[in-house]
A and B are shown apart, each in its own frame.
Chain A
């Protein structure tokens, strides 16, 4: 019983971080209709940003998070201006290959500049934990859950309550009609790509004290984000949140209940991806392609 409870608590805490991670990918896709295959690298850059702030200047990853997110978003703006802008009307396969290539370049640049060594960030809360009866809850996980919740709430508020947020949703729902409203669609594409990168970087900054930081940490994160977004239905934010918690639960349950499950847990995302594509290609909450 307590194992089940522990498993549920762990999945919820993990689900918060997964939500933040996948919402970034989902938002970018919803607006531009392009799946950002360099998304994992934005997460990685966020993690390195937090690592360097911590190791060079002694700044806590959570304090560094806003600056790191903004920095990575600006970098994404450069990527957009110099590459993505040119393929906005191109077939999806061109866009995917381009972004995949951009991701590989960033990954290898990171390996050259910062070496392939595994790094980690230590914070006052990354090694402590709290006990609630039989349940053990690491403080680092609580922190990431809370920060992720606040960021997602802020994002949803922004999307629904501000002029720009509304405009970005308008572009996602009907591009031509958005133009007729006087909305500069290209600027909204750029903005959504930057937001996508900022959310990825925020995820990375928090992953910096939960996981090991390496130039290659992005790819599994991309696969997980992609599995969540596909699971939830492409472009649907409520679906993405549901998908994040489902994947977190599936992974945690496998780790707890399957013999040698910890190793298998990392593969759950692939199984989920395959399963959804075969049995329910629309995702759990999505329509064919429906948005925000």
Chain B
């Protein structure tokens, strides 16, 4: 397998605080990779650096073998990277349809707009029903579907999902991750950030655990679940007792 996304020694942060000290990770073509870690570990920052919303201070990011550092944020969509951001960030005063159309603003996606729209609406029938609804007035779950759908409209080769389960009911989490599994089956590579390890483990094959801006552990989901590294990264919560039990069940 060739690496679609290859990050090596990445350093990044905001003004005077370095958030990412040294991040190295890879996503292979067709692979689903989970990015785990406690709040403030640097997961969202990693996503923002990959999309170019914030600049890297050091290290390299290569996409499909090409250095991304010279590519401005809005041009990275053109090469095939789409981010479904934390907190969904839909355009609140626009209709669901307008949000989706904006997803395919970039040229290569615009050419295939009608076909992609059909696929997205098949994946999330709810979006077809709500087509004329103002995005800001929808429930959190519906907005999440819209945000994922909007990212898919860009015809990405790599889909970045930042906490798709945030603030959703368990049923909705299931629904959203069901869709993520289907997207993966379609061959789109996915890097997913999650606090909900159980949900992430349901779709990912490999994972990285971040702590303090570094990669604390990496490996297959089964290895991570066994080693207790995930537990360590989330230390201070009783999180893993619940999640861990669930993982070993589903991982078996």
Interface residues of A (CB under 8 A from B): 163, 166-167, 169-170, 173-174, 176-185, 290-292
Contact = CB atoms under 8 A, between A and B. Distances in A.
Contacts of B151: 180
B136 to A, nearest CB: 9
Nearest to A184: B74
A173 B94 contact: yes
Given A166-B102, A169-B93, 15 more contacts: A163-B105, A166-B94, A167-B102, A167-B105, A169-B91, A170-B91, A170-B105, A174-B89, A177-B89, A180-B82, A180-B83, A181-B105, A181-B150, A183-B105, A184-B72
B115 to A, nearest CB: 18
Contacts of A169: 91, 93-94
B72 to A, nearest CB: 8
Interface string B66-102: 0000001111011000110100011111100010011
A291 B93 contact: yes
Contacts of B82: 180
A113 to B, nearest CB: 40
Interface of B: 51-53, 72-75, 77-78, 82-83, 85, 89-94, 98, 101-103, 105-106, 109-110, 150-151, 154
> Which has the most chain A C-beta neighbours within 10 Å: B74, B85, B89, B154?
B74
Contact of B105 (A174, A182, A185, A292): A182
A291 B93 CA distance: 8
Given A166-B101, A174-B89, A181 B154 contact: yes
A27 B154 CA distance: 27
A179 B110 CA distance: 16
Given A166-B101, A170-B102, A177 B74 contact: no
